[in-house]
Chains A and B, each alone.
Chain A
Amino acid sequence: MKVLVTGTGSMLLRGIANELINRGDEVVCLQRRPADAGINQNSKHVSADIRDVEAVTSAASGCDAIIHGAARVGIVGKWHDFQTTNVQGTENVITAAKKQNVSRLVFVSTPSVAHTGQSLVGAPATPATIGRKSSFYAESKAIAERIALDANSEHLAVLAIRPHLVWGPGDTQLIGRIVERASNGRLAIIGNGNALVDTTYVDNAVSGHVAALDALHVGANCAGKAYVLSNGEPRTVHELFRSICSAANLPYEPRHIPLVTGLFLGSVVERVWPLLRSSEPPITRFVAEQLGTAHWFDQRSFQNDCSWTPLVTLDEGFSHLAQWFAAQ
């Protein structure tokens, strides 16, 4: 099988590309920056912008499937930047798939497309909601997911996967930030730290996407659907932070910020920060909601439809993380 993987600059997509190569698939990696050391050399590399429809189309030449993960993330930036990369980029991928007779498309989405700010307790994957102004990222991904799922047809099978809080050795997003704060003594917990939050160990995120790719074909049960992917092992925020600090051999001494304060700070920072800085801010309303309210999901439909179970338990993941930190 020949697969185009876009967005291989990220830990997750890089991992997926490597997994496909290791099992013998032919892989084309598309990312903006030149290929880095983390990607298996047995793949073809295309350095291109997802907004360039010509480049995407030619990269998809001869492919059976596409895993589309290229996206603009974060909260800094203009709507135009998010819209062109995330929405147009997805339209470009669909155009390329149709032109090149690709029959399968896995769209890498995010649980924030259906985020309501409410507690999610064993929740199913609800449809993406559009029309919220708060986060350009979530809004653009929501539009993109709808476009992708609408493209599901008798020629092209499409499914969307929303991996929830992917982490693992080398992760700069979740682990990197917590470890950096903890080592500076600036780690804060928003809310009481009691909320149960599901996360995804990177190896599971990778194998889940690969299983979805294998299960997907025109007319398959999973075609046209969106799924949340996670370990299915929620832990309290408190325990997650404690386990991460413990893996990094750092003391766990968080400050506590009340949820309302966190939400308020997040809202203010979201508006003011992009005017002042180009780096990502320390807190956003979205992060405050994520860590202050329960977020865990009913994994049964994904596991049944895509014949997948997590390979690595959360506790095994933490010991891998500890070994990685020890080796650093």
Chain B
Amino acid sequence: MNKASPLDATLASFGLDPSWSRTLEVPSHDGAVHRWHLLGKPGTSDKAPVVLCLHGNPTWSFLWSRLMHELGDEFRIIAPDQLSMGLSEQVASRSYRERVADLSDLINALHISAPMWLVAQDWGGAIAMGYAVAHPERIAGLVLSNTGIAIPVNRRAPMLIRLAAATGLHRFVTKNTQIFVRGTPLLPGRGITRVQRDALAFPYRRRQSRHGVADFVADAPLNEKHVSFRDIAHVAEQLPNLDIPVRLVWGSRDPVFNDDFAHDLMNRFTNVALHRIADAGHLAVLETSVAPLVRAAIEEQAVDSPVPLAERSENEVATLWSQIDHWNNVNEIAISDAAADSSVTRPEFAARVATYAEELHRRGVHHGDRIAILVSPSIDLIAVVYACWRIGAVAVIADRGLGLRGLRNAVRASRVKFVIGPVRAGAAVRVLRWAPRSVFIRLNTLASAPVVSLVADVTAPEPRPDDLAAVLFTSGATGPAKGVRYTHRQLYAQRDALQRTYAITPHDSFVAAFAPFALYGPALGIATGLADMDVTSPSTLTASALDDACRRINATMVFASPAALANVVATATDSLTHLRNVRLVMSAGAPVPIKTLHSMSALCPDAQLHTPYGMTEMLPVADVSLDQLVRIGDGQGVCVGQPVEGCEVLVDTLNSEVMVSGPWMSAGYDSLWFTEYSARPVHVSNGQATKWHRTGDVGHLDGEGNLWIEGRAVHVIHTSHGAVAPVPLEVATETLPTVVRAAAVGVGPIGAQQIVIVVETSNNENGQASAQLSRDVRTALFPQAIAAVWTTKHLPVDIRHNSKIDRTAVSREMSHLLSGRKK
């Protein structure tokens, strides 16, 4: 317990409370007594659940400093330095088996009675798994981060470890120099601060103090002859027998323990879930805030719902492809692609789906396999998706609307076994390493396969309704794009909801100026048209292109994003005769200005204009028509109408967040266990448990049952007078004559934020607003205090819809500007 004060000062300079640091004499299995250094918060109750954190190589207990700061006193958190590591005693070289025994010695000396949680990273993970296999009764659960137990099938040990362990290099890299110690925090990731880097290297400044580091690398069993190989292999074999919850918290950019290792572990445990952290690296537990995940892992086990989830539908459903062989009006067009100036009839489409399905199956795409469909909107895109559904493959659909970077992250995150697309996509997956180990299928080679005329003739077995059908990606307008999982049953329920809400009959036909929507055409059994436009920029849709797309299929319905509609209105001419036949125009993805709806109404005089509300996770949620909007008038936020039949809407009384539920709610998120856990609360009422989806939108229901959206929960401005939703402020600002578009954002710390209004004006101003405009905005928003009114030429918007304002980016920029620093 001797503490030299220079060490205290050093620990304090690393942001560690010196009172957390202590040493413990631990009797060892080797007969000696070893001195361990550990971090732990004094004063936490002995009854609190124990969270024991085990670092890897070449780090020490400092690795857990962030978690220790952020995890509350409801847990007793202990982070030891392994022997020969950090500030613990330097001992002779130790093998894997001895390290597991060392951990056991320490746990015995700590007198931990109740089952504990082990949180471990890197080689600490392998040791923790070894301990868990040996003492399963003492473990409540595992949280593992960027670690591994065995080298995954079909790959070699991480190159960096092989390099560090290579004869001739090993001593130089790990012991004689600080290359390994200093290099580890510099691996790709969200970044480790200079102080953190110095802290991580602190115990390893001298050559002698690095022999533990060198030993650890030498103990990595790179081949079967290694002394620890059998011990580790034995632990790996035992993992499936472990009946404990395991949560994987994974930095996705780690070049050492990468996604392959995460999925290797996914296949070894029974109760396991993965949360993949975009952009984080090997030291994810230090780079990001993992305390909420650790807390959730523990809480999740504490509250097990005794009430089973209400089964929404017991009966078998029809399949998404069931109409393709038996389409009405056989000789009509099934799908028309205006950009390619081509179309297919209904029997032609059925043959194409059947042929592709048979050929994909023949090439090894089987039930449950994930396949990334990198095909731009076209007849083939729709045919490939239906072919995949028919054979039970999981279609990973990431459209170009995510941007190239978003697309890459989506493909990487979803770990596809196959990629299908044009040659260009093949280059991306190989050369740019989007999915280097996947099998690439060139799209145009499918067409030369032997023809199968009917989907019913495809030999592969059909999937079951609750099998996974698709992973769709959110637009990423409100954070990194997330993969959303849908089962066949859910997609079919969505198809039903659309048919019911919009009274779609076989006589309808449909132009989709937003590609993902075109996928529903064959399932609805209606002719589908794709308009000639740049999919990466919806605002490129011209009025004549839309009119032409309508002409090709005699369209009765049109779907277009708000940005696309705005451009249609802007480019309208007198000769748009085919738009006049449309009975229904739908626009969704972002709030649609009522001016745009009125102008569109003039182009399609017989059409009802509807704005469905929903999100990638559940669509539609609510719907409202222009006529209804006019009748309802202005209010707090944007009115999105009544919930559609079959959809339940609830507004959280605590934070006004809108929650939704219904048969077509998606299954959850892909490789984002924590996101899914937070976004999918289960509420029990009348003995029935219902799973809800937190939309991330805030709003309210009015007396007539209309839902009003006031903005994103993350965009709510937390002033010292309370929470302020941005949308009502924006709506009020947009009533000013010179204001084109407005964003209301907060600057400053949560709870003391100030409101800033940023507007695009018709005069194309830029910078601080004029005295007149500032006064007008403040008057319009009175009595809300507005710290600053700013003008800008372009508010940042998302790529997919071209219309959702990225308030997070606006807030970031305004915070910077208003601090007085240079742009």
Contact = CB atoms under 8 A, between A and B. Distances in A.
A126 to B, nearest CB: 14
B44 to A, nearest CB: 27
Contact of A122 (B752, B785, B817): B752
B752 A236 contact: no
Contacts of B754: 122, 196, 234, 296
Contact of B787 (A233, A237, A246): A233
A193 B749 contact: no
A163 B768 CA distance: 27
B494 interface: no
B787 A195 contact: no
B751 A236 contact: no
B754 to A, nearest CB: 6
Contacts of B753: 122
Contacts of A196: 747, 754, 787-788, 818-820
A119 B752 CA distance: 15
Contacts of A232: 720, 785
Given A235-B788, A300-B720, A259 B774 contact: no
B641 to A, nearest CB: 38
A133 B794 CA distance: 46
B820 A294 contact: yes
Given A236-B788, A239-B768, A239-B774, A293 B752 contact: no
A207 interface: no
A298 B818 contact: no
Contact of B820 (A122, A239, A259, A297): A259
Contact of B748 (A121, A236, A242): A121
Interface string A292-328: 1110111110010000000001010000000000000
A192 B820 contact: yes
B450 to A, nearest CB: 68
Contact of B818 (A194, A292, A299): A194
Given A239-B774, A296-B754, A299-B720, A195 B788 contact: no
Interface residues of B, number: 22
Nearest to B822: A192
Contact of A292 (B747, B748, B778, B820): B820
A194 B787 contact: no
B751 A300 contact: yes
A233 B785 CA distance: 7
B771 interface: yes
B815 interface: yes
Contacts of B815: 121
Interface string B750-766: 01111000000000000
A246 B772 CA distance: 12
A196 B822 CA distance: 14
B807 to A, nearest CB: 18
Which range holds the interface residue count of chain A? 20 to 34
A246 B778 CA distance: 17
Contacts of B818: 194-196, 236, 294
Interface string B808-823: 0000000101111110
Contacts of A69: none
A292 B822 CA distance: 10
A162 B818 CA distance: 23
A292 B819 CA distance: 9
Contacts of B752: 122, 297-300
The DSSP consensus for interface residues of chain A is: mixed
A164 interface: no
A266 interface: no
Interface string B712-725: 00000000100000
A72 interface: no
A9 B664 CA distance: 73
A299 B785 CA distance: 14
A299 B749 CA distance: 12
A246 B768 CA distance: 17
A191 interface: yes
A238 interface: yes
Interface in B567-600: none
B751 A119 contact: no
B823 to A, nearest CB: 8
A4 to B, nearest CB: 33
B803 to A, nearest CB: 28
Interface in B69-94: none
A114 B753 CA distance: 21
Interface string B297-308: 000000000000
B399 to A, nearest CB: 38
B748 A296 contact: yes
Contacts of A298: 720, 749, 751-752
Contacts of A237: 820
B724 to A, nearest CB: 15
A313 B822 CA distance: 30
Nearest to A243: B771
Contacts of A246: 771
B819 A195 contact: yes
Looking at B720, B748, B785, B817, which has the most chain A CB atoms within 10 Å of its CB?
B748
Contacts of B819: 119, 121, 195-196, 293-294
Contacts of A233: 785, 787
Contacts of B720: 232, 298-300, 303
Contacts of B787: 196, 233-235
A151 B53 CA distance: 45
Contacts of B785: 232-233, 313
A293 B819 CA distance: 6
Contacts of A297: 752
Contacts of B821: 119, 293
B768 A238 contact: yes
Nearest to B778: A315
Interface in A185-214: 191-196
Contact of A193 (B747, B768, B771, B778): B768
Interface in B773-788: 774, 778, 785, 787-788
Nearest to A193: B768
B603 to A, nearest CB: 43
A122 B748 contact: yes
A195 B820 contact: yes
A245 B664 CA distance: 60
Contacts of B768: 193-194, 236, 238-239
A119 B749 CA distance: 13
B361 to A, nearest CB: 59
Contacts of B822: 192
Task: Name the residue in B752, B753, B768 with the highest tally of chain A Cβ atoms < 10 Å from its Cβ.
Answer: B752
A286 to B, nearest CB: 15
Contacts of B771: 242, 246
B818 to A, nearest CB: 5
Interface string A224-251: 0000000011111111001000100000
Nearest to A236: B788
Nearest to B823: A192
A259 B823 CA distance: 13
Nearest to B720: A300
Contacts of A293: 819-821
Interface in B480-536: none
A196 to B, nearest CB: 5
Interface of A: 119, 121-122, 191-196, 232-239, 242, 246, 259, 292-294, 296-300, 303, 313, 315
10 contacts: A191-B820, A194-B820, A232-B720, A233-B785, A236-B788, A238-B768, A292-B820, A294-B820, A298-B751, A303-B720
Interface of B: 720, 747-749, 751-754, 768, 771, 774, 778, 785, 787-788, 815, 817-822
Given A294-B819, A300-B752, A303-B720, 19 more contacts: A119-B820, A121-B815, A122-B748, A191-B820, A192-B822, A196-B788, A196-B818, A232-B785, A234-B787, A235-B788, A238-B768, A293-B819, A293-B820, A293-B821, A296-B754, A298-B751, A299-B720, A300-B720, A300-B751
Closest 6 pairs between A and B when the two form their complex, measured CB to CB: A195-B820, A122-B748, A298-B752, A122-B752, A119-B819, A122-B749
